[in-house]
Structure 1
Amino acid sequence: MALVQYSESESESETESPQRLVKRPRQTSNQPSSLPPLPAAFHDLYASSTRVSVRDDPSLHGGRKRVIPHVEGNWPTHLYLEWYPSKAELSILRDVIDQINDRLDDSTTQLHSLLHSDLGAQLPLHISLSRPVVLRTEQRQPFLEDFQSALRESSIPAFDVTTQSLDCVSNYEKTRWFYVLRADKPEADSLNRLLRLSNRSLARFGQPPLYESSQDVAAVLKSKSPAQPQGSRGTGQTGSDYSHCFHVSLAWSLTGPSSEERERIVSIDLQKVRGLSIRFDCVKVKIGNNVSSIPLLEGTRGLST
């Protein structure tokens, strides 16, 4: 399994609360909880962990180093699709992480789960639609309005994503390695369409794209005449296929696996994982600690590409 460049979108996200994996007996109990699930909007209110230091201190974050420093007037921004796995899905994902951990037994690699916080609270998983970028204070509302308008005009409906394979990838700085599930290309190419919307909206505010090259995004924006009527901004429904890039991270480590460990990871049983189907009905825009949930269309409208 070759090492591929990993997006900055998950390199230093403040929403991640690392959990060091400890060897323990596998849990076999699947007793359903008597408590109803929390409403989706509840998670947006508590999307950030408590800040315990005003400066970068890797010892507080499992050894991670911050890529985007805290600067007054700068707002870390991230666009993504969020997934809260069900209890049954969590069981499947925990089994995959346990299998990865088993194959790293004899190494110095310390695996950190992204499924739960140190206190045992479930954490959301996600598919990134942007890098971690920075907006200035005066850009926050104009950007959010621009992206909301672009998403509304795109008529992209809610869609399902399935997972296909396990991979290990690094961030751009090669300071962390992530164990990820690759996503299959969904119906109507919705992931690529959302990626282009995100990249073009961010480019209008001077921010770099995810996966695409800055030159390609700039060329598309330049080709759109400023005389176009409103509602015809060119939301980019055609372009290169980046389906091989989309993924969901399950765990991370500060060091990458050896070639022998990679070979052992390839043998992990993913039969149950390939049966997962993840429903996405909104796009999350996190600016600072504020999370906006922008709904996709319901039903089957907007399936043309």
Structure 2
Amino acid sequence: MSNKGALALLAQYEGDSSEDEVSGTRVSTKRLHRDDDEEPQNKRLERLPVPNFNLNNPEEVVDDPTLHEGRLRSFPHERGNWATYVYIPYEANEGLHRLISRIADSSQVENIELKYFDHFHLSLTRTVILRHHLIEPFVNTIRENISHFNKFIIMLDGLEVYINEEKTRTFLGLQIKTGYDTLLKLVQCLDHCLGEFKLEKFYENPSFHISIAWCLGDQTEKLKSLARDLNQELEQLMNEFSQENWYIYVQEIFCRTGNKLFQFNLL
């Protein structure tokens, strides 16, 4: 494989993880013979360019926040590390779209630059780092530990403000009204799975929520003021739209690790 080809393979890395494996380069070890009138072998080898490509010491990947809306990574970008988390999906509906429209209008008035998620979910673990060879045993451990859980319903409630541990992003999210006890039991099972792989467990006394929008930096006070006004509008929306817009019927949970997605059906 040429040096250019090897670099092209490395450039296929996408997102926070990759399924690509670095393939080895086979080098010919045939002995060269020369006749008396040929140029000496060592002279010819002196003219060969030395490739500047070392698989044992890959270049450090420099994080560029401008490529992902100013967000900073919580952990270094390293080949072979797979960002992994377990969650419950929430499908956007008419009620949620109307709420997002109200949030957008209010944030413009308050001059708060919010960005909105394309997909919505309720986290059951932190985002942890998993090595590629541990994916299959980790997924099997989850499947075994949650196999006894039944389907259940989560009712949504008002808006609340959250901030990440690094205080680099502030979030506006929907709290839950019912389903806390079942969610807590799920988290305890998943914490057991994480512990087996020496991975960080979920937050103590978690506040389960579905993040809707976010902004850079610590904007807690601004967003709390915004949330107080928006909760009055949310109450009106909850009366205007049917209950189906404001609950989740949890039939499965998911684990995303890199670009792999695993589904676990509940009883």
Same fold flag (TM > 0.5): yes
Separation of aligned partners in 2, 1:124 and 1:94: 13
Alpha carbons of 1:208 and 1:291: their partners in 2 closer, same or farther (altered >3 Å)? same
Larger radius of gyration: 2
Matched AA of 1:93: L
Q: Which residue in 1 is equivalent to 2:200?
A: 208
Match of 2:100 among 87, 94, 98: 94
| Match status 1:251 vs 2:213 | yes
User: Residues 223-242 of structure 1: matches in 2 within 5 Å?
Assistant: 242=205
Normalised to the residue count of structure 1, the TM-score between the two structures is: 0.61
Contact 2:122 2:208 (C-alpha < 8 Å) held by counterparts: yes
Residue by residue over 1:249-276, the C-alpha shift from the partner in whole angstroms, topping out at 9 and shown as x without a partner, is 0100003336466334312222124841
Provide the secondary structure at the position in 2 that maps to 1:181.
Answer: strand
Query: What is aligned with 1:164?
Result: 157
Partner SS state of residue 164, structure 1:
strand
**SS of alignment partner, residue 267 of structure 1:** helix
Worse-matched range after superposition: 126-135 or 268-277: 268-277
**1:292 to partner: Cα distance:** 0.4
Within a 5 Å distance, the mapping from 1:183-198 to structure 2 comes to 183-186=176-179, 189-198=181-190
Q: Which residue of 1 aligns with 2:127?
A: 132
Q: State whether residues 16 and 82 of structure 2, in contact with CA within 8 Å, keep that contact through their aligned partners in structure 1.
A: no
Show CA shifts across 1:134-161 (max 9, x none).
1122211111101100111xx2112221
C-alpha RMSD over aligned residues:
2.3
Gapped regions of structure 1 (runs ≥ 5): 1-12, 16-53, 115-122, 213-241, 298-305
1:179 Cα deviation from its structure 2 partner: 0.5
2:234 alignment partner, one of 240, 263, 270: 270
Matched residue SS, 1:184: strand
- Tell me the TM-score normalised to structure 2 length: 0.69
User: Whole-Å Cα distance in 1 between the matches of residues 141 and 223 of structure 2?
Assistant: 45
| Displacement after TM superposition at 1:67 (Å) | 1.1
Structure 1 residue 103: deviation in Å? 5.0
Aligned mates of 2:80, 2:119 — CA distance in 1? 27
After TM superposition, give the deviation of residue 126 of structure 1 in Å: 0.4
Question: What is the aligned partner in structure 2 of residue 288 from structure 1?
Answer: 258
C-alpha distance after superposition, 1:187-213 (max 9, x if no partner): 8x221111111111011100011113x
Structure 2 runs not aligned, ≥5 long: 1-14, 18-60
Instruction: Tell me, in whole angstroms, the C-alpha distance in 2 between the residues paired with 1:110 and 1:168.
Output: 15
SS in 2 for 1:162: strand
Deviation at 1:98, TM superposition (A): 2.4
Judged with a 3 Å threshold, the aligned counterparts in structure 2 of structure 1 residues 148 and 89 are, in CA distance, closer, same or farther, namely: same
Percent identical across equivalent pairs?
A: 28
Compute the displacement of 1:177 (Å).
0.3
Residue in structure 2 matched with residue 232 of structure 1 by the alignment: none
| Cα pair distance change 1:259/1:124, threshold 3 Å | closer
User: Residues of 1 paired with 2:143 and 2:116: CA distance?
Assistant: 33
Q: Return the alpha-carbon distance in structure 1 between the equivalents of residues 251 and 96 of structure 2.
A: 20
**Aligned residue number for residue 113 of structure 2:** 110
Q: 2:91 aligns with which of 84, 97, 101?
A: 84
Separation (CA, whole Å) in 2 of partners of 1:259 and 1:73: 39
Shift in Å, 1:72: 2.3
Quick check: which one's helix share is greater? 2
